[in-house]
Amino acid sequence: MPDFEVVVVGAGPAGSIAALSLARLGHSVCLLERGPFPGSKNVYGGVIYGRILDELIPHWWEHAPVQRWITRRGTMLLTDHQSLCIDYRSTAWAQAPYNGATAYRPDFDKWLADEAVKAGATLVSSTTATGLVRTNRGLVGGVKTDREGDLMANVVIACDGVNSFLAKEAGLYPNFSKDHLTLGVKEVLALPRQEIEARFGIRSGTNEGADLEIVGGTQGIAGGGFVYTNLDTISIGAVLSLGGLSASKVRPEEVIAGLKAHPSLAPLVDGAELKEYSAHLIPEGGFDAMPEVVGDGLLVAGDAAGLCLAAGLWLEGVNYAIGSGKCAADAVHEAIAKGNFSKAGLVSYKDRLEATFVLRNHRKTRKAAHLLLSDRLQNRYPQIACDLLEQLYTVEDPLPKRGALTIGRALWKGSGLRIRHALRDGRDALKIYG
């Protein structure tokens, strides 16, 4: 007799929503968390998009511990002395149901886990799952833990994060590689609330906020950066490909220091006091780097399933964790009804992911990781774009003005880039964003 019908490992957004959904369907669920409280091990790089929560937790925005609602979204291209920003602002995002929010993950994840507990899940914190327990038929039938002994269940859902030791132990993650991972490093910097609003052009006295995503400025390491606002802090950080970082002589915190010193970012963070330095790996490999997500008695969701969307204009993760957690719960519910916990009994999880935004978006953007981390997207195109604008905006009287096409042609020639590469990049970009 198992201890629970389902053990969910990891009380991040994927695990908490899986547990919440299963508990509401009347199943006994244990939600296991290795940190002293849910969220204590978690770090992210910007914005939580909550649309997927609307049905799960109606009016969630009235209860969730949010820092600011994003009303300003920018994408910045940096060279060493230039910056070009597509800067979008909308007051429509300042009202319910909102678009995106910033939050501290220890607050947000704890709130979500509390919702699972309210629904009837049993949260066990400060307990690490150290391995899988197999039944005599070879199925996963529970987890070994360091504090509670073996916890037995019909099904285990591994929401144990980007390093997923459980998916690896089950043999579902043979292609786990540094080439599919980025390191996110972040500083949280304190400034008075009004000062943040003034510096970021946010309406004073509101809880509106800004999120600026950055290409370039990472000192030759493929990746990017971000700056976003919390109520009385600013979060600034870098996302660095592990391949690029390990071949580099520049340390992660030095990359952040470089971003903070960039002439377009320094005025935003000048004089702010460091409250916390943090780091976390991000599974940015996309669709083609995902592990198998269904095993015998085992499902994999959230970061553990590689479900971060790192596609330039779209940088999302928490929503995919929530979406996959919900799909996993529904698949397990069906398996319990059929009494079949083998891979065949659980396989509807994959179909459910395929039918929703979770895998549809990842499939659509499958070329993004390769495209966005290429030297052309990282360095060459931003340089051309910045130089083009610099020359257009520079008044060179008494010389007559040159048109954008003339300038562009000269810059392109000077860059040594090939038209066929640009065409291929354009075709890939159309597949992703078109």
Partner 1 sequence: MTDISRRESVLAFDDRMATVDFRISHTAHITVDSEVCRSCTTRACLVACPAKLFVTTNDGGILFNYEQCFECGTCYAVCNNEGAITWNYPEGGHGVVFRHG
Among 281, 385, 410, 422, binds partner 1 (CB under 8 A): 281
Among 146, 150, 351, 354, binds partner 1 (CB under 8 A): 146
Shortest Cβ distance from residue 304 to partner 1 (Å)? Answer: 12
Shortest Cβ distance from residue 268 to partner 1 (Å)? Answer: 13
Site string (30-69) toward partner 1, x via CB under 8 A? ----xxx--xxxxxx-------------------------
Buried/exposed 54-70: b ≥16 CB within 10 Å, e otherwise: eebbeebbeebebbbbb
325 within 8 A of 318, measured Cβ to Cβ: no
User: Measured from the CB atom, is 30 or 329 closer to partner 1?
Assistant: 30
* Cα 170 from Cα 287, distance rounded (Å): 20
The reply to whether 263 sits near partner 1 by the rule CB under 8 A is no
358 within 8 A of 320, measured Cβ to Cβ: yes
* Cα 132 from Cα 321, distance rounded (Å): 22
User: Measured from the CB atom, is 65 or 408 closer to partner 1?
Assistant: 65
Among 28, 99, 122, 125, binds partner 1 (CB under 8 A): 125
The reply to whether 267 sits near partner 1 by the rule CB under 8 A is no
The reply to whether 275 sits near partner 1 by the rule CB under 8 A is yes
Shortest Cβ distance from residue 128 to partner 1 (Å)? Answer: 4
User: Measured from the CB atom, is 258 or 382 closer to partner 1?
Assistant: 258
The reply to whether 126 sits near partner 1 by the rule CB under 8 A is yes
The reply to whether 309 sits near partner 1 by the rule CB under 8 A is no
The reply to whether 271 sits near partner 1 by the rule CB under 8 A is yes
**Site for partner 1, rule CB under 8 A:** 34-36, 39-44, 104-106, 125-128, 130, 145-147, 162-163, 165, 177-178, 181, 183, 185-186, 188, 230, 233, 235, 242, 245-253, 257, 260-261, 271-281
